[in-house]
A and B are shown apart, each in its own frame.
Chain A
Amino acid sequence: MSQTSKRTTRNWKTYLLMIVIFAIGLLVGKMNIDGSATIVGDANRYQKSAALESTADNNVSFGSVATIKRRPFNGQVHTVNDGESIQAAVNQAKAGDMVKVMPGVYKETVYIDKDDITLTGVIVKGEWPVLDGEKKLNDAILYSGNNFTVENFKITHYKGNGVMGQAGNNFIIRNNMIIDTGVYGIFPEFGKNGIVEYNVLTGIEDAAIYVGMCDNIHVAHNQVFGNVAGIEIENSRHAIVENNFAHNNTGGILVFITPGLPIKTTYDVIIRDNFVIDNNHENFGAPGSIVAGIPKGTGILIMAGDEVTLQNNVITGNNNAGIIITDHGHAANLTLDPEAEPNSDKIAILDNVMYNNGNEPVNEVKALMLTKLSNRGPDIIRVGESKESCILNREKYLTFGIDEFGTCAFDSTYGTKTYLLEKPVEPRKITAEERGKLAYYGICAGCHAYNVKMVGPPTQVIQALYMENPQGIVDYITNPVKKRDDYPEMPPQNYLSEEVRIAAAKYMLDVKK
């Protein structure tokens, strides 16, 4: 390790020397790489998004409070007491019903595959209903139904996910405490129109809040600490992350395009009014996984995400760097995806509060900063291409690589209150052919990227292992056994019908990207 990192540093330095010489050349040639005089972006970017998008049917931002409208409640209430089974109550419930869970300890996985269910914990004198996986169970709550609400649970000691959404739309996940639950804390995957708010999450070895392949999402008022990644917006569009407190994670807030996932873009993300403080936790991600490549001390990391706007965040005490803007080529543990655009373009850094970042930068960053005659890591660093990006008040920060950034033509995002939809998304109509695809997108792709180690082995490897044998996959996922020391155990998928399992397996063997 030390050998390779030394070599990398040396490469960086040579590279840098070339850049410096090139820069001097440019200056001598009286050319200007200072982009501050260039005005970038439309002054009304966040003012008129409603008007702009009104043509695209119901894709309109609205109102002043981030909320998802629910139908008036006229269903039945099913109450679960300590010692009873939540799943049994869910099985009894019909669309539109509420399952109320009283304080107590529940050692189970709850799977909700019907629409319009509200799963609500009842907190009595500070006593919460607790879902305890005892380090044996994989998932606490899995939902694939639409219009699902889960609130007021304490979830602990699961190995995989606290709350995982599998292609459910119009979800609300709020006011839960999720402690030490393995890979992902709250993980809506492939959902549209959803809220994640007022949750507290800690001890998660990948992302505490992981918004994966979603659209129209609001993540607000959460506290994330002691995780590898605090909040991650990945391969998702139209998301707002605001008023969260991310502290002492390895990386605080991440905006990524992860290569190898079936949906290839991340854009239109607003990160505002968050506290991103002291994210200096040792990285305890699974070796070789993407998040294991995040250097500790990283406040906000943007990798390949586009149209990401940062406003009014307090970013302090992150020992590597406050904000890192990078591309796929510079990221560790990644192979390129020819169909995913690798650069972070149209980044806008509006006014933010940043100080005391970069006390202990990693070697690569240190080498770059030496060219700026600084021993400290930066508030903002950009490596890799970033077109049409801009910043305000650049003189306030110690920076690297953003001289070319223009000056933003807009100074606020508050004109856009939310990206949640005015009308909930209609339920999907799923044909038999689409069943496998939906399962792959909504479930498998949570851990298996096509050609990259995310959590499980890459899809490409699985294709080689099983080739013409989808039944082999079905047999394995129904009752998995641990085969790899450096990968977490595959959770059983036996809650899915045989039909869905075989459809997913066939789709997985056919997928090409």
Chain B
Amino acid sequence: MKLLKSITFFVVYLGLTVSMASAEELTNNYQTCAVCHGEKAEGNEMLSAPALAGLEEWYTVRQLNNFKKGIRGDKSEDIFGLQMKGAVANLTDIQINSLAKELAALTPKIQTPEIQTPESQNTESQNPDTPANSTNAESGKKYYLSNCAACHGSKGRGNKQLNSPGLTIQSDRYLIHQLKNFSAGLRGSHPQDKYGKQMAMMAKTLPDEQAILDVVAYIKTL
């Protein structure tokens, strides 16, 4: 699995270096990011890289700073978080701010729920974050409205006043992965990660994996 990921990493990397010039909206600051997050910042499931296009400016700034300071990506089990921590270590404040602004200005790509192709089903057994076939958005709705909507809004658009990002631009797979990270203490357990701790506490109110899948299934209907 890891080998597969490294291979795709290189394939994507090569492909991107060739086509980099077409990423017109984004300045050079973004070049390193595009390797994983895609040239249009649409995210890349194969690399577990979330979509960045349309991410709230304040949220990107906060998360990049968290990675830089080791507030996020501080757990060895959080492989992708560790990658990010390494990737942003050298960004300056000016770069962070202008990147966040550029990304916020992009139109988010609509992330449709994943279609189960034979290939993706093949990797399913190895990837615990693949959405299950039997999700129940109705049951997820009850959790969402009770536990999530107070901060992320009943339409999942986020709320700056409560420091909560929008959820609808992300893929179901990414949302499931992060909910599990919060729940398992891989994210939101650093003492300085105030908002992460809030999220971790709420993620732990979901009783089991099915509840996580259901709530994400509901988010994808928003």
Contacts and interface: CB of A to CB of B under 8 A. Distances in A.
B202 interface: yes
Counting chain A CB atoms within 10 Å of each CB, the highest count among B149, B153, B161, B162 belongs to B149
B159 interface: yes
A4 interface: yes
Interface stretch (B25-33, B75-83, B126-134, B140-148): B140-148
Contacts of A487: 150
A334 to B, nearest CB: 6
Interface residues of B, number: 23
Contacts of B146: 335, 451-453, 458
B145 A288 contact: yes
Contacts of A463: 201
B97 interface: no
Majority secondary structure, B binding face: helix
A483 B159 contact: yes
Contacts of A486: 149, 153-154
Interface string A139-156: 000000000000000000
Interface residues of A, number: 26
B201 A457 contact: no
Contact of B161 (A287, A453, A464, A483): A483
Contact of A288 (B149, B201, B202): B149
Given A463-B201, A486-B154, A8 B138 contact: yes
A465 B142 contact: no
B162 A451 contact: no
A241 B156 CA distance: 40
A380 B202 CA distance: 39
Contacts of B154: 287-288, 486
B150 A467 contact: no
Contacts of B95: none
B101 interface: no
A333 B142 CA distance: 5
B221 interface: yes
4 A-B pairs with least C-beta separation? A457-B150, A464-B201, A483-B161, A288-B145
9 contacts: A3-B221, A335-B142, A452-B146, A453-B150, A458-B150, A460-B147, A461-B202, A464-B202, A485-B153
Given A458-B150, A460-B205, 11 more contacts: A4-B137, A335-B143, A335-B146, A335-B147, A451-B205, A453-B146, A460-B147, A467-B198, A484-B150, A484-B153, A486-B153
